Amino acid sequence: MTLLHKLIVINGIYDVICGLSILKILPLTLFAELHSSLYYSRVNKEAKRFMAYWIITYGFIRILSVPLTPISFYIQALCFMNELWKGNMRYTETIYFVTSSFGMGILSTIYKKSMIASG
């Protein structure tokens, strides 16, 4: 397992921890508030639950599926960009997530192609 693959798996584990914290399955308030704190307005309970399910889903994709990992990062970046363009999210914090998600998407695409090339 390369360093990049380890970073992707660690990011997936982090995502699962955040999602489980939002659902209050894990008692980690910091992780529970990271994503919803990006929004200007308070996020209601139902939206938080669906956000948690989505975060857990792409976390497991990053842990378990090299072929699907790049698209999970691109989708995350595009969703955050959409919310930013709609004026729902804090600019500086959201731009960090957008650029890091696109960057990880590009790196994981390169990694995926190298895995395919090496057979």
- pLDDT attached to residue 79: 95
- Please check the confidence at residue 119 and state whether its pLDDT lies above 80: no
| Alpha-carbon gap, residue 29 to 15, rounded angstroms | 14
Place of tokens 């790196």: 107
Q: What is the pTM of this model?
A: 0.90
- pLDDT attached to residue 49: 94
Give pLDDT tens digits for 86-101: 999 999 999 999 999 9
Question: What residue type is assigned to position 30 of the chain?
Answer: L
Q: Which residue has the higher pLDDT, 17 or 118?
A: 17
| Alpha-carbon gap, residue 8 to 88, rounded angstroms | 28
- Please check the confidence at residue 107 and state whether its pLDDT lies above 80: yes
| Domain range enclosing 99 | 3-117
Task: Decide: residue 117, CB within 10 A, 0-12 exposed, 13-18 middle, 19+ buried.
Answer: exposed
The two structure tokens encoding residue 60:
């497991």
- Please check the confidence at residue 116 and state whether its pLDDT lies above 90: no
| Alpha-carbon gap, residue 73 to 50, rounded angstroms | 18
Q: What's the number of domains the chain is made of?
A: 1
Report the Cα 117 to chain-centroid distance in Å. Answer: 27
Give pLDDT tens digits for 30-69: 888 888 888 888 889 999 999 999 999 999 999 998 899 9
Q: Using 50, 70 and 90 to split pLDDT, how confident is the model at 6?
A: very high
